[in-house]
């Protein structure tokens, strides 16, 4: 199993898409910095003060931690799921397309072990992406926007019902929690992509199907017509990862949704293993 893991890790490190995902994240952080910086300058300048008497958007509010939080929440909706789908979707189907899957399966290893090792490497990639993204945002935010406490207000980001504040050191800890909770949530998408990767022989098909399923449920979940269906979508359950940024973390609810996501991941992976073991590999 360890040899398998090592081999899969080597494959991941040699893939161009692995480095591309980090490059795109860097570009996104640059874009966010430009947007946030110009917005902060506008909102703390004369124009906003002339129009309204009171605001919470002060220089103190706009700091590196707020920047990182906004950047993370915006990217988690679409950017990170796409990269996770790309890596996971190409794991088995990529081997099939390259013509190496048949050869791998002739080796004295079980197909289940192969799936598990590939999934663990994908999980590592998701964790690395999140760690890199959060770390980069924090460094960029510290250098270009400044340091302070994390202030939260009802409405934007939909995190709190009443204004709240997380002190700087505690907030940094919460970003650490977000790496764990975010990776755990992203594993649902990875597991779905694995299933599609086994079902389809084309990695493009597997990736597109995963993103399509994710986006369909995400969009339908935001349409009021289907409000009663929202609790049954995995995209709704995945949202639990954000709870670590609430001033008082709702641990019970967080564990509940984390377990649901875990059940999705384990269930989808089990299905993937069963389908893969019965699959006649002709490529």
Partner 1 sequence: MWVKLALLLLFCLMILGAVHFAPPAESEIAPTSARLVHPLRLLTWNIGYAELEDDTRAHDKDLPAVAEVILHQDADAVALQEMTGNAQLNVLLGLLHEKYRGAVAQQGRGDRFEAVLVKDTSAKFMPVPVGARYALGASFKPRDDTSEVLLLSAHADAFNAAQRRTYTEALIDWAQARAQTSQVFIAGDFNFELKATNESNLYTDNLKHDSESYSQILRHFRDLGRGAGDTAINDRRIDYIFGPPSLGHIGRVAVLRDAAVGRMDHWPLLVEVGL
To partner 1, the closest distance from the beta carbon of 16 in angstroms equals: 30
Q: Answer yes or no: are the C-beta atoms of 101 and 283 closer than 8 Å.
A: yes
Report if residue 281 touches partner 1, rule: CB under 8 A.
no
76-95 mask for partner 1 (x: CB under 8 A)?
-x------------------
9 or 260: CB nearest partner 1: 260
Structure tokens at 111: 């197909």
Q: Per CB under 8 A, does 225 bind partner 1?
A: no
- Coil, helix or strand for 27? helix
| Residue nearer to partner 1 on the CB measure, 68 or 97 | 68
**Is 73 among the residues that bind partner 1 (CB under 8 A)?**
yes
Residues 82 and 125: beta-carbon distance below 8 Å: no
Determine how many CB atoms are found less than 10 A away from the CB of residue 138: 20
122: nearest Cα among 43, 227, 68, 192: 192
What tokens does 233 get? Answer: 């979508």
Q: Does 248 bind partner 1 (CB under 8 A)?
A: no
Whole-angstrom Cα distance, residue 99 to residue 9?
19
Q: Which of 62, 70, 196, 214 binds partner 1 (CB under 8 A)?
A: 70
Listed residue (60, 83, 73) closest to 32, CA to CA: 73
Q: How far apart are CA 264 and CA 222, in angstroms?
A: 21
Taking CB under 8 A as the rule, which mask of x and - marks residues 261-280 in contact with partner 1? -xx--xx-xx--xx------
Per DSSP, 44 falls in state T
Q: Is 57 in the site for partner 1 (CB under 8 A)?
A: yes
Q: Looking at 34, 163, 176, 229, which residue binds partner 1 (CB under 8 A)?
A: 163
Residues found near partner 1 in the complex (CB under 8 A): 51-57, 70, 73-74, 77, 110, 112-113, 115-116, 153-158, 161-163, 222, 224, 227, 250, 252-253, 255-260, 262-263, 266-267, 269-270, 273-274
């Amino acid at each position: 199993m360890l040899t398998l893991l090592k081999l899969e890790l080597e494959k991941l490190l040699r893939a161009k898409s692995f480095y591309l995902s980090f490059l795109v994240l860097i570009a996104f952080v640059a874009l966010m910095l430009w947007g946030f910086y110009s917005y902060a300058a506008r909102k703390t300048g004369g124009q906003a003060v002339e129009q309204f008497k009171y605001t919470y958007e002060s220089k103190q509010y706009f700091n590196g931690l707020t920047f990182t939080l906004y950047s993370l929440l915006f990217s988690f909706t679409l950017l990170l799921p796409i990269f996770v789908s790309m890596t996971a979707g190409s794991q088995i189907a990529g081997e099939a397309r390259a013509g190496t899957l048949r050869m791998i399966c002739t080796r004295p290893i079980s197909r289940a072990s192969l799936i598990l090792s590939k999934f663990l490497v994908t999980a590592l990639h998701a964790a690395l992406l999140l760690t890199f993204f959060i770390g980069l945002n924090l460094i960029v935010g510290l250098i270009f926007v400044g340091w302070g406490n994390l202030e939260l207000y009802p409405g934007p980001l939909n995190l709190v019902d009443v204004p709240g504040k997380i002190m700087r050191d505690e907030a940094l800890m919460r970003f650490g929690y977000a790496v764990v909770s975010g990776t755990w949530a992203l594993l649902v998408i990875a597991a779905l992509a694995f299933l599609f990767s086994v079902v389809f022989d084309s990695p493009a098909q597997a990736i597109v199907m995963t993103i399509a399923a994710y986006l369909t449920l995400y969009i339908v979940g935001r349409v009021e017509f289907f409000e009663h269906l929202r609790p049954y979508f995995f995209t709704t359950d995945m949202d639990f990862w954000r709870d670590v940024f609430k001033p008082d973390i709702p641990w019970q609810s967080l564990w509940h949704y984390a377990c649901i996501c875990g059940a999705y991941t384990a269930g989808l992976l089990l299905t993937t293993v069963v389908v893969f073991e019965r699959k006649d590999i002709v490529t």
